[in-house]
Chain A
């Protein structure tokens, strides 16, 4: 044996401690406590990558993107009733959706157009009547909330035949409005890259229960050509 190694062991052998008589080779190399630490270390090593994976997963999870967010509103307004059972068109209230970037939340007046006579006494619409009388606005809670550096334009989408439900889901089935889609950049890009699946004849954009009577992709392709739908994926399209 090359003596370098013997040297090492020799060194350890003559460890200046008079107490230990037994040769190094026989003495347990690890202190006993290690036996307890082994699994701990094992777990730690496994946990780190797991943690990273979980983090990435959580980042995309519904909870992080706030899918299912359903805050209480000051007025118990039911889209399910108005848009659903009564079948009022979205544009009756959200008048500017085709002409402007914001799909304006209607002024109290719009409610009163009907509720001046219908259910005028109902306690549910008390806040609405108040607002109408005092001129103080109703403070709705925002559900679909994009970051401030994102510039989304409703008219650009609705006019191209992207249906309301593509982003808002079946609002006509919601008692209180709920966020259905993740509204993440990746989600936007999916559609901007391949819009076919979400296209419909523009005039039907607000129709909640519309189903294509042919293969949606064939239709989508045709509509895309007809209405020159070529969504851009440039950053400047949404970020300015």
Chain B
């Protein structure tokens, strides 16, 4: 009987689990090897250098632009009255959006016991951190007098003045910073066991020192694992509402104001869906080349990619639905101003932006209805890039078209970006990729321990009551010991 069950295993796998999450006969040891090797190699692939060079240059450009901005004033941008926000806030919302996939994958998918997340969550979380970093930059520099920004924070002062708690912009500050902190903790905590592994494998003193420093003395003892997984669970639970809250709050910047095209209740869900959509596209965009360069094809398999494409398709359709509803409500509400705003978006001077948005965000992802495309690297890259462009334009359309033609025709206007606007946008990508490439080079880019936990060798996947990674009680699986289980069968 034991034999028969033993044989039944792969069949069961095939039926229930679909193709394995780790391919190419990787063993526990080889997983460690593959992932750590990336960090331990004396030098990364040439592609990395090229990419890093370019992004570092762009990042430099960003800081040059910020310097210029702070010296000259926000006039160096194309903004004006009526269009008081241009690229600055567009970039902000765009990057915050990108920052969503990470926590979603690591927290929500974790709670939903989606095992396939293990190979990609580290990526996604890292991406989140860097994206939110870029995002945070823009509200900070978009103000006219950056040097008195601290007035935004409730610090006791001799003016006896407090910030205005009615302002969505203030809520933003809190929402985003909270999100940043939690994501950072989550990311770092998840990394601790792997950092320890790197520490133990480290050859040079420096590596041993730093990895030692950051692995906080992880030894992998039961108690540590116990605490670790409790904490992980807690953080996941804590992060989950944040995923929804951050972008909802960001959307309040618009929904709470009364500009036609902004003033609508659908924004929070619509923004969150859009954020996840864009975030996943970005994950795909990052993961596909990385798995090429660093030979992670076995850990990050087609199945992972395919799952993500499915999410992209789903969220993409939600976004599409939101577009339709917006337009429908604008018509149905009978509010002539709203009506005009949407007509103007689709047919006015910014029609090009609107249609770019629609084709990139709604039409392009429809490719993923077909398995062929879901599994074709070029198609995935194409859509991923398309969606990122589309999502940027979504924010551009919402912000600029609504502002440029609001209530009084006499003050209607037009926004034209300046070279500074464009360089700043480029630069923010530079910063993002620079940080991400550094991450690829110096940190475990795949959650080694977690991946192992979903490998057959881990023999955790058998027990349907247990998701991976989570842990119950000090003496695991005693019931198996008592009533016989795979372990005793050996």
* Residue ranges of A at the interface with B (Cβ–Cβ < 8 Å): 1-5, 7-12, 14-17, 24-25, 27, 29-31, 33-34, 37, 56, 59-60, 65, 182, 184-187, 189
A31-B208, A34-B212 are known contacts. Are A3 and B458 too (CB-CB below 8 A)? yes
> How far, in angstroms, from A41 to B453 measured CA to CA in the complex?
34
Q: In the complex, how many angstroms separate the beta carbon of B202 from the nearest chain A beta carbon?
A: 8
Write out the residue numbers on chain A whose beta carbons fall within 8 Å of the beta carbon of B452: 4, 7-8
Q: A9, B220: Cβ atoms under 8 Å?
A: yes
Contacts beyond the supplied A34-B209, A189-B160: 6 A-B pairs with Cβ under 8 Å: A5-B449, A15-B201, A17-B203, A29-B199, A31-B205, A185-B160
Main secondary structure of the interface of B (DSSP, over half): helix
A-B contacts, 25 of them at CB < 8 A, read A1-B476, A2-B459, A3-B28, A3-B458, A4-B449, A4-B453, A4-B458, A4-B468, A5-B222, A5-B449, A7-B28, A7-B457, A8-B449, A10-B29, A11-B200, A12-B196, A29-B215, A31-B205, A31-B209, A31-B212, A33-B209, A34-B212, A56-B157, A182-B158, A187-B158
Contact flags B195-228 to A (C-beta < 8 A → 1, else 0):
0110111010100110011010111101001000
A185 pairs with B193, CB closer than 8 A:
no
Residues on the A chain within 8 Å of B291, using CB: none
**Complex CA distance for A25 and B200, rounded to whole angstroms:** 10
- Beta-carbon nearest neighbor of B208 in chain A: A31
Residue numbers in A under 8 Å from B159 (CB-CB): 184-186
Interface membership of chain B positions 129-144, coded 1 if the CB is closer than 8 angstroms to chain A and 0 otherwise: 0000000000000000
Q: Is the CB of A59 within 8 A of B158?
A: yes
B161 within 8 A of A: yes
Task: Report the bound CA distance from A41 to B213 in whole Å.
Answer: 11
- Whether the Cβ atoms of A11 and B161 lie closer than 8 Å is no
Q: Are B193 and A8 in contact (CB-based, < 8 A)?
A: yes
Contact across chains for A8 and B458 when beta carbons are under 8 A apart: no
Q: Are A56 and B156 in contact (CB under 8 A)?
A: yes
Binary contact readout B460-475 vs A (1 if CB under 8 angstroms, 0 otherwise): 1000000011010000
Q: B477: CB under 8 A from chain A? A: yes
| B308 close to chain A: CB less than 8 A | no
Chain B residue nearest to A55 (CB atoms) is: B155
Knowing A15-B200, A30-B212 are in contact, say whether A5-B225 is a contact too (CB < 8 A).
yes
Is B251's CB within 8 Å of the partner chain A? Answer: no
Q: What residue of chain B has the Cβ atom nearest to residue A186's Cβ?
A: B160
Neighbouring A residues of B468 by C-beta, 8 Å: 4
Contact across chains for B449 and A7 when beta carbons are under 8 A apart: yes
Chain A residue contacts of B208, Cβ below 8 A: 31
CA distance A33 to B33 in the complex (A): 28
Residues of B bordering A, CB below 8 Å: 28-29, 32-33, 36, 155-161, 193, 196-197, 199-201, 203, 205, 208-209, 212-213, 215, 217-220, 222, 225, 448-449, 452-453, 457-460, 468-469, 471, 476-477
Which chain B residues lie closer than 8 Å to A9 at the CB level?
220
Nearest residue (CB) in B for A184 is B158
Q: Please state if B197 and A11 are interface contacts (CB–CB under 8 Å).
A: yes
Q: Are A56 and B155 in contact (CB under 8 A)?
A: yes
Given A5-B220, A11-B32, A37 and B448 contact (CB-CB distance below 8 Å): no
CB neighbours (8 Å) of A37 from chain B are 213
Q: Which residues of B contact A24 (CB under 8 A)?
A: 200, 219
The winner among A11, A25, A34, A56 for most chain B CB atoms within 10 A is A11
* Residues in A whose Cβ lies below 8 Å from that of B161: 185
Contact B225 A29 (CB under 8 A): no
List of A residues within 8 angstroms of B459 by Cβ = 2-3
Contact of A185 among B158, B448, B460 (CB under 8 A): B158
Contact across chains for B460 and A2 when beta carbons are under 8 A apart: yes
Residues of B within 8 A of A189 (CB): 160
Q: Give Cα A228 to B207, complex, Å.
A: 75
Q: Separation in Å of the B89 CB from the closest CB of chain A?
A: 27
Task: List, in ascending order, chain B residues with CB within 8 A of A2's CB.
Answer: 453, 458-460, 471, 476-477
In the docked arrangement, what's the CA distance between A29 and B209, Å? 10
Query: How far apart are A204's CB and chain B's nearest CB, in angstroms?
Result: 29
Shortest distance from the beta carbon of B457 to any chain A beta carbon, whole Å: 7
**Most chain B Cβ neighbours within 10 Å, of A12, A16, A30, A31:** A12
Cβ–Cβ < 8 Å partners of A1 in chain B: 222, 476
A185 to B460 Cα, complex, angstroms? 65
Q: How far is the CB of B339 from chain A (nearest CB, A)?
A: 39
Which residue of chain A has the shortest Cβ distance to B158 in the bound complex?
A: A184
The residue in A5, A60, A182 that gathers the most chain B C-beta atoms within 10 A of its C-beta is A5
| B469 CB to nearest A CB, Å | 8
For B452, the closest partner residue in chain A by CB is: A7
A126 to B213: give the CA distance in the assembly, Å.
73
Please indicate the chain A residues that have their CB under 8 angstroms from the CB of B193 in the complex.
8
Q: State whether B197 touches A12 (Cβ < 8 A).
A: yes
Q: Is the CB of B222 within 8 A of A8?
A: no
Please give, as numbers and ranges, the residues of chain B lying within 8 Å of A15 by CB-CB distance: 200-201
Q: CA separation between A37 and B225, bound complex, in Å?
A: 26
Selected from A5, A30, A186, the residue in CB contact (under 8 A) with B158 is A186
Sorted nearest first, the 7 A-B pairs with minimum C-beta distance are: A12-B200, A11-B32, A186-B160, A15-B201, A184-B158, A7-B28, A4-B453
In the complex the two chains form, is A30's CB within 8 Å of B217's CB? yes
Beta-carbon contact of B201 and A16 below 8 Å: yes
Question: Contact at A11–B158, with CB atoms within 8 Å?
Answer: no
Known: A3-B459, A29-B212, A33-B209. Is A8-B158 also a contact (CB below 8 A)?
A: no
A65: B residues at CB distance < 8 A: 158
Give, as a whole number of angstroms, the nearest-CB distance from A55 to chain B: 9
A residues near B36, Cβ cutoff 8 Å: 11
Which residues of A are found within 8 Å of B448, using beta-carbon distances? 8, 11
In the docked arrangement, what's the CA distance between A3 and B476, Å? 11
Say yes or no: A17-B158 contact (C-beta < 8 A), given A3-B458, A25-B219, A29-B219. Answer: no
A11 proximity list for chain B (CB < 8 A): 28-29, 32, 36, 197, 200-201, 448
CB-CB under 8 A from B225, the residues of chain A are: 5
Q: What is the CB-to-nearest-CB distance from B162 to chain A, in angstroms, rounded to a whole number?
A: 12
Nearest residue (CB) in B for A57 is B156
